[in-house]
Amino acid sequence: MTSTSVNEAGSASGPEFVPDRRFRTIFLALMLAVFLAAIEQSTMATATRTIVDDLHGFDLQAWATTAFLVTSTLSTPLYGKLSDIYGRRRLFLFSIALFVAGSLLCGLATTMPQLAACRAVQGLGAGGIMALALIIVGDLVPPRQRARYQAFFMIVFATSSVAGPVVGGLFAGADSILGVTGWRWLFFLNLPLGGLALAVVARVLHLPRRVVPQRIDWAGAILLLVTLLPLLTVAEQGRMWGWSSPVAWLCYTLTAAGLAGFVIAERTMRDEALLPLRLFRDRTVAIGSFSCAVTGMAMFSGMLIVPLYMQIVRGMSPTAAGLRMLPFVAGIMAGSLTSGHLIARTGRYRLYPVAGTFAMAAGMLVLAMAGAATSLWWITVVSVLIGVGLGCNMQPMITAMQNAVADRDIGVTTSIAILCRSLGGTLGTAALIGVLLAVLPNRVADAYAHAGQQPPAQLTDGSFLTDTSFLNNLPGAAAQPFRDGFAGSVQVVFLVAFAVVLTGALLNLGLTEKAPAA
């Protein structure tokens, strides 16, 4: 394949890495699989309304998104650990097959409960795809070169996050394509593309067969499920239930009990644990886990809050607001590719996550000062800065964590990084949206009082918290105080995000760099 060799543990070694046609074919198949799994996280954003109207399940709509999120997140560490025991290839093929099967079932669903259940199956496959693709690259590529190649997966992930809503809107807006309801093609298109990735990986990817005799930590897996399932569910549903509602408190209690049991189980299983606690005694793994959570929060919240600002404050259409995220994605591309290239040349990686998180913090601070009249060009520049910071942090941090552990722990360590990023994105976004909704009523009321205007009826009955479409029917002067109040609320959100990201940046200063990788 290359001028490198693959040792019995599956890790590439040797001073040079010259990719040949076979490696490039494998790499493209891995990226295609990751793109399909990643875009499924965001297509539902614009397609949900059409789908729930067709399946008559408006009250259950959130579960179609939550089911995918929960299963893809929870399955990540299990895939990583099992791949360290049984090898990557078979598990990766299983993940793609499961994802394709789930996609087929989603396209055939006739009720919302069916769709939610099928999305859960789809998420189980997606979790394996997103974790194992990075792990496989870690096996095939020497440590110094990993960041260069893994950076492409981050570009795919960021691009899919922007493209997903656009693709979802296009297919959901079509009544019928080739005699099939338009939204169903969001799932059916995964069949030929996923089948192609499956066929290529099955034919071309060959890694040394590995079976490490070891018990499977089923107790840890179950307790991790008990810990994270209620936490992720309340993060997604808490705004509807109420953060202090009885069902929310039940979720908090289950999470606390599950976490306590999980720690005990992992201490008992020692090296055979699903997430060996000894790994977190390494400073790089411990700091990297928190840093991955911070970058997840920054990425997902940025992709949610900035488009909301563009639509509500600046009056843009959803499509136009989505296109405004392209500079953000361009920044991620530039940061990922540049840092990966420099790491490959020098073997040094500590600088990039440190500089990246400080760049993200600076961008968040600038956005915390942006108002309703701030130049869009200035916001674009800041979006690029945050994107570059994310790109410089995401893959170099995974590289640092992989280099900090032995070959036998690369799979589980990579899974830890991806798990923390997913949790940071989900929980961080939920927290920031909670901050937005908490400060919005008072900010809007103050803006109308300052303008000497009587607020619309929607502001007095609270309905504007779930539907802002009334702004479309208000004269410009009457809507402007609302936009000013919303912009002020966004400032608070980004100020909180700045504090979190700055904490991550300061912690990253404690990273210790291993000897330059060969």
Domains and CATH numbers, the chain: 1-215 (1.20.1250.20), 218-273 (no CATH), 278-518 (1.20.1250.20)
For the packed helices 61-86 and 218-241, what is the interaxial angle rounded to 10 degrees?
A: 160
Q: Supply the DSSP symbol for 282.
A: S
Alpha carbons 493 and 491: distance in angstroms, whole number: 5
The secondary element (H helix, E strand) that includes residue 494 is helix 476-508
| Among the listed residues 99, 83, 98, 130, the one whose alpha carbon sits nearest the alpha carbon of residue 296 | 130
- Reduced 3-state DSSP string for 155-194: HHHHHHHHHHHHHHHHHHCCCEECCEEHHHHHHHCHHHHH
Contact 360, 300 (CB under 8 A): no
Strand partners, 181: 176
Tens digit of pLDDT per residue, the chain (518 long)? 443 333 333 344 444 566 778 888 888 888 888 888 888 877 776 676 677 778 876 556 667 777 888 888 888 888 888 887 777 888 999 999 999 999 999 999 988 889 989 999 999 999 999 888 888 887 888 877 777 787 788 788 777 777 777 777 778 777 788 888 888 988 998 999 899 989 988 888 877 666 666 677 888 888 988 888 888 888 777 777 878 888 989 999 999 999 999 999 988 888 778 888 888 888 889 999 988 888 888 877 777 788 778 878 888 776 677 777 788 888 888 888 888 888 878 878 888 999 999 999 999 999 998 888 888 889 889 989 998 998 888 878 888 888 888 877 887 888 888 888 888 887 887 788 888 878 888 888 888 888 888 777 666 655 555 556 666 667 767 778 888 888 888 899 999 999 999 998 998 998 877 654 44
| Among the listed residues 501, 497, 506, 504, the one whose alpha carbon sits nearest the alpha carbon of residue 370 | 497
Q: Supply the DSSP symbol for 316.
A: -
CA distances from 399 to 78, 148, 396 (A): 20, 10, 5
Contact 387, 330 (CB under 8 A): yes
Alpha carbons 152 and 339: distance in angstroms, whole number: 12
299 phi and psi, to 5 degrees? -70, -50
Judged by phi (left if over 0) then psi (alpha if -120 to 50, else beta), residue 48 lies in alpha
Contact 436, 334 (CB under 8 A): no
490 phi and psi, to 5 degrees? -65, -35
Contacts with 4 (C-beta within 8 Å, 6 or more apart), sequence order: 12, 13, 14, 16, 17, 141, 142
Contacts with 502 (C-beta within 8 Å, 6 or more apart), sequence order: 361
Burial class, 232, CB count within 10 angstroms (exposed 0-12 / middle 13-18 / buried 19+): buried
Alpha carbons 73 and 19: distance in angstroms, whole number: 31
Alpha carbons 278 and 285: distance in angstroms, whole number: 10
pTM of the model: 0.76
| Among the listed residues 347, 358, 378, the one whose alpha carbon sits nearest the alpha carbon of residue 518 | 347
For the packed helices 351-367 and 326-346, what is the interaxial angle rounded to 10 degrees?
A: 160
